């Protein structure tokens, strides 16, 4: 009886989402490139010698004092590392001349273990013929004018570089001569100039309702359900995983990764019984919040989004994914990847509750590769992208999109058993999908 009731409850929860018309379209692998996970850059000029190593706080009890003393059981790699890791692409924008703007994640996954990682983003250029990725420019983040409203890790240092203990950056948009970044710890929106220097830090307060995560420096309540009545709690690692930019560059659309805790309902937020993610509007000029809130419907309550970019007008692409990793065809993964999709949405196609319509999708576990372009991951003409975190998507031209994983180096093992994942960047031919109505 318990099994029957649970199944019925799950179907009732998912029914409204499953009822939406979701057209599936094919995706064909056009090119593949990868940057090895073990790619490091030196600490910037002006940084303390402390930053010549990274990953020294990733051990089970925090500090690993000796070089190569902390061995990861899943892949045999040892920490701390010499240098700063370039890994963890958590946001992408297509630039001109085949280049891409990529945002590096906070370091090693949490506020507690990433204080020795200096935040950065990069401009890279894949060579689709050789499969290699060139790094053209690295931009480090800093706060020389003390615009961050809380004490940073390098508060008393001359360079005032930002670290993975200060912010967890997951989305990026070039605006004018600078950039806007979306963070998960606050969640905050951060405006920086072309040199990565903080100009403004904006708290999440759409419609006058303050929203904080347990990692916010000013958080009053660490756990959902214990917040003041006028606050909505964002779950840890549930902040701004995606953030799109309007064609005119005037409006940012930050999208939360996970449903918020609704204090009125004492539960994770749903609309019509469907789990949803909040999508906001913010002025890129002033950082002012609009009162408008849209909702992205998840196909399952435990899913999360990975990235969000507009590709023309009000049409956009959103990655939705489960938390599995590893190709189910190979049989070694304990919880293999099953749901890794990219959805086409339109900001103007919403229902009466402002819930977005899912117009169409492509399945990243069913990518056509009849010519065997991929160096790994293709069997019987089908290529899979079986990573736990796929956090990068943007349109390249009228027929192609770019997709990349966040490899969480050295922890994620999705491509090959016993081997830490690399940063894979793939070019997909998806003309029918981009033109879906």
Please give the DSSP secondary-structure letter assigned to residue 5. Answer: H
Q: List the domain boundaries for the chain.
A: 17-434
Residue 9's φ and ψ, nearest 5 degrees, are: -65, -40
Strands 261-262 and 267-268, bridge-based pairing:
antiparallel
Average pLDDT over residues 233-250: 93
Tokens of 308: 């969000």
Which conformational region is residue 70 in: left (phi greater than 0), alpha (psi within -120 to 50 degrees), or beta?
beta
Taking the CB of residue 59, how many other CB atoms lie within 10 A of it? 16
Fold assignment, 17-434: Neuraminidase (2.120.10)
pLDDT at residue number 237: 86
CA distance 119 to 141: 6
Query: What whole-number distance in Å separates Cα of residue 407 and Cα of residue 32?
Result: 16
What are the φ and ψ backbone dihedral angles of 198, each rounded to 5 degrees? -65, 130
Per-residue pLDDT tens over the stretch 179-236? 999 999 999 999 999 999 999 999 999 988 889 998 999 986 555 555 555 566 888 8
Tokens read off for 234:
């964002």
Distance CA 12, CA 316 (A): 28
The CA distance from 274 to 270, in Å, is 5
pLDDT in tens, 308-365: 999 999 999 999 999 999 999 999 999 999 999 999 999 999 999 999 999 999 999 9
- Read off the tokens for 342: 């990219």
Q: What predicted TM-score, i.e. pTM, was given to this entire model?
A: 0.92
Q: Which residues contact 366 (CB under 8 A, 6 or more apart)?
A: 27, 382, 384
């Amino acid at each position: 009886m318990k099994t029957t009731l649970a199944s019925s409850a799950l179907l009732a929860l998912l029914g409204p989402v499953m009822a939406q018309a979701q057209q599936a379209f094919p995706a064909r692998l056009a090119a593949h490139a990868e940057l090895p996970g073990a790619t490091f850059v030196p600490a910037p000029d002006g940084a303390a010698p402390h930053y010549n190593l990274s990953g020294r706080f990733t051990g089970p009890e925090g500090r690993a004092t000796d070089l190569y003393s902390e061995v990861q059981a899943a892949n045999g790699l040892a920490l701390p590392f010499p240098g700063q890791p370039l890994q963890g692409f958590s946001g992408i924008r297509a630039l001109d001349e085949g280049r891409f703007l990529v945002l590096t994640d906070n370091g090693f996954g949490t506020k507690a273990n990433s204080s020795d990682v200096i935040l950065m983003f990069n401009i890279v250029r894949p060579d689709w013929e050789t499969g290699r990725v060139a790094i053209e420019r690295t931009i480090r983040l800093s706060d020389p004018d003390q615009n961050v409203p809380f004490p940073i890790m390098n508060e008393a240092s001359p360079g005032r570089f930002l670290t993975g203990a200060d912010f967890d950056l997951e989305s990026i948009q070039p605006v004018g001569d600078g950039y806007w970044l979306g963070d998960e710890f606050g969640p905050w929106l951060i405006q920086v100039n072309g040199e990565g220097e903080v100009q403004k830090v904006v708290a999440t307060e759409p419609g006058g309702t303050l929203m904080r995560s347990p990692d916010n420096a000013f958080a009053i309540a660490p756990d959902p359900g214990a917040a003041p009545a006028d606050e909505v709690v964002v779950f840890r690692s549930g902040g701004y995983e995606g953030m799109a930019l309007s064609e005119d560059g005037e409006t940012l659309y930050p999208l939360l990764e996970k449903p918020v805790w609704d204090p009125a309902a004492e539960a994770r937020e749903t609309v019509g019984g469907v789990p949803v993610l909040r999508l906001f509007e913010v002025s890129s000029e002033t950082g002012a919040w609009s009162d408008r809130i849209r909702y992205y419907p998840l196909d399952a309550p435990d899913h999360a989004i990975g990235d969000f970019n507009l590709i023309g007008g009000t049409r956009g692409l959103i990655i939705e994914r489960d938390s599995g990793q590893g190709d189910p065809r190979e049989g070694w993964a304990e919880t293999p990847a099953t749901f890794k999709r990219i959805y086409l949405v339109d900001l103007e196609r919403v229902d009466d509750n402002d819930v977005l319509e899912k117009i169409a999708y492509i399945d990243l576990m069913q990518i056509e590769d009849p010519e065997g372009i991929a160096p790994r991951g293709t069997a019987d003409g089908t290529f899979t992208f079986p990573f736990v975190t796929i956090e990068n998507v943007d349109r390249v031209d009228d027929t192609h999109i770019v997709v990349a994983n966040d490899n969480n180096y050295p922890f994620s093992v999705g491509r090959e058993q016993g081997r830490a994942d690399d940063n894979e960047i793939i070019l997909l031919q998806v003309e029918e999908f981009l033109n879906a109505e």
